[in-house]
Homo-oligomer: A and B are copies of this chain.
Amino acid sequence: MSNKIRLGIIGFGAEGAAYADFITKGMVPNMVVGAISDVNPAIEAKAHELSVPFFSDYKSMITSGEVDAVVTTVPHYLHPEVGIYALQNGVHALVEKPIGVYTKQAQRLIQVAASKPELKFGVFFNQRTNPLYKDLHDLITSGELGALRHSSWIITNWWRPQGYYDSSAWRATWGGEGGGVLVNQAPHQLDLWQWICGVPKSVFAKAQFGFRRDIAVEDEVNALVSFADGATGSFMTATHDLMGTDRLEILLDKGKVVVENSKDVTIWKLNKPEQEISKGMDMEAVAKLFRGQLDTSTFMSKETKSYSSVWGEQHSEVMRNFAAACLGEEELMAPGDQGIHGVRLANAIHLSSWTGQEVSIEHFDEDEYLEQLNNRIRQEGKYSERD
């Protein structure tokens, strides 16, 4: 292996082409494009432009010896299948999110990866490289702000018009895509939320299927989750809000963070745990509080920060880190097996919406989920059932 990883790009649509572009522009210094595969023969000309081999079949590319690693920019259901084939043939796998549409499928990929410790299995969570969320993850997981109490995320700036859904027959179907906003747009937030706040234990949700779009799957989701130790969370996403909101709030024992538009961050830090402040306050202070005369600034500091982001930087950084991990130089920022949490939460939200019951995430019934998913695929009548 040279000191540059030769990446095979599987699926050369808008995303695959963008990744090639980042590499050829030098934004990923430890990577070169090794080869391209696509089911569309017209893509061969683009491979020639890049002076790399073209394969009409991803399996031939993986076994060709031309690539050290692959990235899977193909429809969601194919992610695990392609990842498994790469790993089984000695090629590192950078798998697009989600790592599977349903947990049973994702677990198969994770098991194969676990049996190949010499190979790297990453998931393309580019938002984890966003400095804002990296800093937030580090702050919250450091424990400086204490234990989590509550978090809410309203993320509705995923507006998609009907024409987007109508652009490909597989889109927004149960058999072709396996879900709506939970599977396609929101996996980034489902990952970041758990990466920062921890993995929820249970969820009650109302997904709205074809609520304001003519589609089979969900265009809106409301979920109420329980984290560990009594902490709670609320998650709302939709593809029908033209004036989209992106607002994350995290309340902890020793502080609070509000993030707006994935850009502006406000951090409050308490000088001791809130319960101690509460217990230490005498009746005179309480009376002052009700008269609006209590100076709460003596307990807390407030800081505001603004982050900017450059298009492509996050994606390039995922690829650079992945290549560095393949070269044994760094740890993966987004190990593939962590992708299971977002898949399970999305599945649990579907299942809760279908059953009207709170669903355990800790003891998630993946067989029940798959049965319910297959019922919908069968009713749709366009695609084969899954196993």
Contacts and interface: CB of A to CB of B under 8 A. Distances in A.
Interface stretch (A20-28, A189-197, A229-237): A229-237
Contacts of A236: 150, 152, 234
Contacts of A154: 152, 249
A243 B268 contact: yes
A230 B251 contact: no
A89 interface: no
Nearest to A239: B278
Interface in A188-228: 204-206, 208, 211-213, 220, 222-224, 226
Nearest to A229: B211
Interface in A69-100: none
A114 interface: no
A268 B240 CA distance: 14
Interface string A294-334: 00100110100000000000000000000000000000000
A208 B230 contact: yes
A381 interface: no
A161 B286 contact: yes
A278 B222 contact: no
A36 interface: no
A329 B357 CA distance: 50
Nearest to A226: B206
Interface string A150-176: 101010100101111001000000000
B232 A241 contact: no
B275 A212 contact: yes
Contacts of A290: 14
A7 interface: no
Nearest to A238: B150
Contact of A242 (B150, B156, B300): B300
Given A150-B238, A212-B275, A278-B240, A286 B164 contact: yes
A156 B279 CA distance: 19
A154 B247 CA distance: 12
B224 A206 contact: yes
A274 B204 contact: no
A281 interface: yes
A139 interface: no
Given A206-B226, A224-B204, A283 B241 contact: no
Given A162-B279, A279-B161, A232 B242 contact: no
